[in-house]
């Protein structure tokens, strides 16, 4: 888990272990709301799954997560490919490749920068 500056570098897990579930709850709610509003504004059919972390720490499920209780999230292992290495050389986040816009943006960027020297 990622250390958070507002918690003096502590992770969500460390905060919960220290009995600070209310602070974690508030922190999650803020991020859930922002994620939900962004999903609506961008007309994205799926929101970030905050319920997985909520289940892990015994917190109530979020109403902002699409599919609610039924939502199942899992990590997928990716193998490196030549295509991934090409995008990395242009500093493209690899997460983009799985999103609905990823390849289009990457291809556009590559097309516009092909042959240009570094400034």
Residue-wise pLDDT for 10-49, tens only, equals 998 899 999 999 999 999 998 888 887 887 787 776 667 7
Longest Cα separation, the chain? 55
Q: What is the pLDDT of residue 17?
A: 92
pTM exceeds cut of 0.75: no
In 10 A of CB 105, how many CB atoms? 13
Percentage of residues of the chain with pLDDT beyond 90: 13
Q: Which residue has the higher pLDDT, 48 or 118?
A: 48
């Amino acid at each position: 888990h990622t250390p958070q500056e507002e918690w003096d570098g502590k992770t969500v897990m460390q905060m919960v272990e220290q009995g600070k579930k209310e602070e974690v709850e508030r922190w999650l709610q803020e991020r859930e709301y922002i994620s939900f509003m962004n999903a609506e504004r961008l007309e994205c059919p799926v929101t970030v799954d905050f319920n997985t972390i909520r289940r892990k720490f015994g917190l109530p499920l979020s109403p902002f997560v699409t599919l609610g209780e039924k939502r199942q999230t899992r990590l997928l292992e990716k193998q490196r490919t030549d295509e991934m290495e090409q995008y990395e050389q242009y500093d493209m986040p690899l997460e983009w490749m799985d999103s609905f816009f990823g390849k289009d943006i990457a291809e556009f960027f590559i097309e516009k920068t092909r042959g240009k020297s570094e400034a």
